[in-house]
Structure 1
């Protein structure tokens, strides 16, 4: 399609850019063959943690945003079980009173860290003018369910205890972090905690059993995710837990009223079916949501927001959604 004719077309339905096609091919040839060999052994997981940690240094975050380590016991809330560890990302002039983003990083519940996702979290901070809290939650297999969930719940309680208005808290996450973000939101509504103002999900992994991914029509086209590997990671995290636990099983219709959701997913990734299934659950529950399927894009393509025009546009879409939820009068769009 002629680029001039696409100006007035929403970015999430445009023809993939040449940069996107080149990157997708490179990942398919250079990463997918090795990713498929992950067997879930401790030595292999440690190797991938080191590799991805080193690789993340090649993706430089927005320099306007400061990074502050945090170890906070949050003595104000006795329900916080462990000190909240992680980092704050703060754009110039930000204030917690205006709101905050709680970002939960992906990595199959076994790899990655706040550092590996700074190119996303710093961009969210710059795009919205809001501080972003990224908890360094415990990882499987050393710490199976419910460790990661409890750590993110503590981080949410910390925000509330420190005076951030719940309606101005956005819970966001990618991949397994999208599972955590959804589980945390549903749990807050289910247990009477103040609900967040909105939820942003990038390529959410919501079916830890792997059944939807294994059955996906994108199984052979996905340049990055091997459904069999995703299934192994799901088992590592769930461990001896009950698969029907509402903090794990997200594709049952919630009875509670949920806040607005923005769901972005790549058009050629196996988790597309899961994003569509979650959207169907939200629709059945009568909860507001916006599902964006980005043609030709792979898993968590937003991490390349300084390289790909689609990723850049996706982050702008997320910023617009967040500003709308918290109120345009309290935050300023990045230049």
Structure 2
């Protein structure tokens, strides 16, 4: 299906007004800190809406004997039950590992909470260049352990993330496997930044009409993300990960973005390893178009697909409805009602 008129208009405006600026983002710490301050200030203007509650989280983890502190926020549907959660979404926000916060990504996390009925935990992980990789991964692991320690079963947890947060979510899945932690129910990746060396996206830059992301700018930022250790940390290399016993994965990527080949390569690697991976390429859409789920019909439809996936992987109904088809049928029935 061709992109909607609204989608084409927004993409055109971004291509003219934002992409040239993104392409010229300098890759040094001072410019990153300036950009971070601007993004944080802009996020204060975003309205979350009255249908969700934001609950701050700041747990120093003193009693756990050495675990990283967990900071961030819960995003919860306002009418959600106060009973202990039997499931949760652990959402890792994007921003190139250098900018953004739980607040900036509330358009996605609020929609997830409303559509799935699950509370969404969004950790405030450490950012580069002050804290290069693997600091963000250590914080993501700490957040996952935090959920487990509070009685949320792994079979009820879905790990999700966008862009750099998509890379972090996939890296977390690999780390969970390597460390022997119980596997989550599923993984959702929005426009994941799979290859921080940017080899595939740089090749695609010559052909794609990405209205937002510049592969060349991403490569400059990536050097700050990896820090002095460079790209040799095997936890960075998602395409060569073993992907043993990986839970079901849903990947959504825009057809117009330079990161599309990276998402396709990751889906191929997961499938080759025997994982259940669904790749959705949304024609003509830009990077993390799901952020615009209030205005773009494609973004709203994509979020509904995510809700069906979450229902499928967390639903072990004995009547056989715990399948993709069953989840879709239930969603259709609910919509008809």
How many Å separate the matches in 2 of 1:328 and 1:319? 15
**Correspondence for 2:109 among 121, 127, 145:** 121
Match of 1:33 in 2: 20
The size of the alignment, in residue pairs, is: 321
**Aligned CA-pair RMSD:** 2.1
Match of 2:48 in 1: 61
The answer to whether residue 82 in structure 2 is matched with residue 85 in structure 1 is no
Match of 1:3 in 2: none
What CA deviation, in whole Å up to 9, does each residue of 1:71-117 have, x standing for no partner? 0123454352x210110111122455320000000000000110100
Question: Larger RCO: Structure 1 or Structure 2 (Cα < 8 Å, ≥ 6 residues apart)?
Answer: 1
The answer to whether residue 19 in structure 2 is matched with residue 20 in structure 1 is no
How many Å separate the matches in 2 of 1:276 and 1:294? 12
Q: Which stretch of structure 1 is more off in the superposition, 319-328 or 284-293?
A: 319-328
TM-score by length of 2: 0.90
State the 4+ residue runs in structure 1 displaced beyond 6 angstroms: 328-335
**Correspondence for 1:162 among 150, 155, 160:** 150
Any conservation in 2 of the 1:76–1:161 contact (CA below 8 Å)? no
How many Å separate the matches in 1 of 2:289 and 2:86? 29
**Correspondence for 1:133 among 121, 125, 135:** 121
Name the one with the larger helix percent. 2
Deviation at 1:168, TM superposition (A): 0.6
Deviation at 1:41, TM superposition (A): 2.4
Any conservation in 1 of the 2:205–2:215 contact (CA below 8 Å)? no
The gaps in structure 1 that reach 5 residues or longer are: 1-13
The gaps in structure 2 that reach 5 residues or longer are: none
How many Å separate the matches in 2 of 1:243 and 1:127? 37
Q: How does 1:1-335 map to 2 (within 5 A)?
A: 14-57=1-44, 59-75=46-62, 77-78=64-65, 80=67, 82-91=68-77, 92-94=79-81, 95-216=83-204, 219-241=207-229, 243-327=231-315
TM-score by length of 1: 0.90
